[in-house]
Amino acid sequence: MHLDWTALGQVTAVSIGVTVAVVCVFALGVLGLARTDDSREHPDGARALGLTQAALCFLACAAVVAYGIYLIVPQFH
């Protein structure tokens, strides 16, 4: 029996790395949104900053989703 430990290790490392990265970036985006909600009472730079943070983070997640769709759909390869 031949067992490809390298591939198994790769799956493990990539899966954990990508999952943690995506969820953390998304959490940061949500944090940005929460900051926007908090600063609604006293609108200053914090609101714009929070919004920018959220936009950048969600954009990064959308890019990962797009790559995921690219991987799933064989016609793109």
Partner 1 sequence: MDHITFLVAVVIVTALAFDFTNGFHDTANAMATSIATGALKPRTAVLVSGMLNIAGAFLSTEVARTISGGIVDDTLVSPAMIFAGLVGAILWNLVTWLAGLPSSSSHALFGGLIGAVWVGAGADGVHFEKVVEKVLIPAVASPVVAGVAALIATYLAYKLTERARKETVTKGFRIGQIASASLVSLAHGTNDAQKTMGVITLTLISAGALGHEAGPPVWVIASAGLAIGLGTYLGGWRIIRTMGKGLTEIQSPQGFAAETASTTVILTSAHLGFALSTTQVASGSILGAGLGRRLAEVRWGVAGRMVAAWLITLPAAALVGGLAASVVKHGGNAGTAVIALVALALATVIVLASRRNPVHANNVNDDQAVTLRTAAPTHVGTAA
- Cα–Cα distance between 76 and 21 in angstroms, integer? 25
- Alpha-carbon torsion angle 19, 23, 24, 26, nearest 10: 140
Q: At its nearest, how many Å lie between partner 1 and the CB of residue 60? A: 12
> Residue for token digits 């950048």?
56
Measured from the Cβ of residue 50, the count of other Cβ atoms closer than 10 Å reads 20
40: contact with partner 1 by CB under 8 A: no
30: contact with partner 1 by CB under 8 A: yes
Which of 18, 46, 48, 59 is in the footprint of partner 1 by CB under 8 A? 18
Q: Which residues bind partner 1 (CB under 8 A)?
A: 1-3, 7-8, 10-12, 14-16, 18-20, 22-24, 26-31, 33-35, 37-38, 61, 65, 68-69, 71-75
